[in-house]
Amino acid sequence: MIPPDPNRSVIDPRRLVREHGRQALADLVARESGYIFQKRPLKDLCQSLLSGMPLLAEGERGGGKTEMVDALAYSCNRPYFELQGMDDLTLKDILFEWDEQGQNNFVVQAVASNKLTLGEARERQWGKEFLSLGEILKAYDYLATHSIVPIIKLDEFEKLPQVCQAFFYQLFTDGHASIPRLTENNGHIGVDKNDEKPIVILTSNNQHVVHAPLRSRCIYTRVQLPTDLEEARILHSRVPLASVSLLTQVVKIVRYIRVMMPTGRDKPGLRESIALLNAFVGERVEIIDAERIDDHLGFVARNAEVLRNLELGL
């Protein structure tokens, strides 16, 4: 978990949208982080905030999905929980596992000291103190125990196998997970169904399948690669020292590279544009010619095939 910064104000994005509208949220995020929302994702994010349902944000790599969540968490200064989608994640990474060694030690010590009978000790070993929470259930428990709404980012969620995606069904619907044998709170960790839930945003690059039961529990949005004007606004907010001329040249170059690779999966995205522009500003470049581009191809190429095509197209 990334805790809130004690030296900054904590903003409730749900209350902000409810009382002042979605443009107030967009202005806050742009001012605090430099992130510029696209219209469609902003509308859908606000619906997610107001409804309490998770947001599923899909789109090509480089469109700014991950940055959208990071910018929201930073701008609102909320507790921030993250989980990177991988195909080897298990129940313990997401929800929980029992501390079997701790349980066994407790039973042995309690019985040896005559503090508890064997039956009593075996009953007590299923208390919450012997439960190790995974990153996501930890966020729901944080809300239940601190009454502070956290933000959860599930990045590249589609990489999770179907069995792991199913772990989220009860969390997203009821706000808690049922833990077999847990003796406290009716065996639940999290909040009640009608309570306020964490702010959850899932991102997907469409490389694998996000299954229908999961989709049905989410508000859906699609984050497109930015238009030239949107990219210029974003670059200006992130690299304010860049001249208009230099910024315009970088936008045109990156756009041309994307057009050269219409079916490629590793097109340069916003992260590459920002890095390239920062490099030119740091080197005090104002006019970008073929030699300058060739010197900086490593900023926009992500594999050998793309690099070779860029060199041929230079």
Confidence of residue 263 (pLDDT cuts 50, 70, 90): low
The average confidence (pLDDT) of the chain is 91
Cα 260 vs. chain centroid, distance in angstroms? 30
Q: What pLDDT score was predicted for residue 207?
A: 65
Q: What pLDDT score was predicted for residue 265?
A: 63
- The fraction of the chain above a pLDDT of 90, given in percent, is 65
Residue 66 has, within 13 A of its CA and on its CB side, a CA count of 16
pLDDT tens digits, 48-105: 999 999 999 998 877 889 999 999 999 999 999 999 988 888 889 999 999 999 989 9
Q: What pLDDT score was predicted for residue 268?
A: 84
pLDDT tens digits, 199-209: 999 999 876 77
DSSP character for 128? G
Please determine, for residue 11, whether its predicted confidence score (pLDDT) is greater than 90.
yes
Read off the tokens for 290.
């073929």
Q: What pLDDT score was predicted for residue 259?
A: 80
Mean pLDDT of 117-126: 89
Q: What pLDDT score was predicted for residue 148?
A: 93
Read off the tokens for 41.
């994702």
How many Cβ atoms are within 10 Å of 104's Cβ, its own excluded?
12
Q: What pLDDT score was predicted for residue 168?
A: 93
Helix axes 244-260, 270-282, angle to 10 degrees: 140
End-to-end CA distance of the chain: 44
Give the closest residue to 83 by CA, choosing from 63, 99, 59, 66.
Answer: 66
- The fraction of the chain above a pLDDT of 70, given in percent, is 98
Question: How does DSSP assign 261-295, residue by residue?
Answer: -TT-S----HHHHHHHHHHHHHTT--S--HHHHHH
Q: Are 62 and 225 in contact (CB under 8 A)?
A: yes
Please determine, for residue 296, whether its predicted confidence score (pLDDT) is greater than 90.
yes
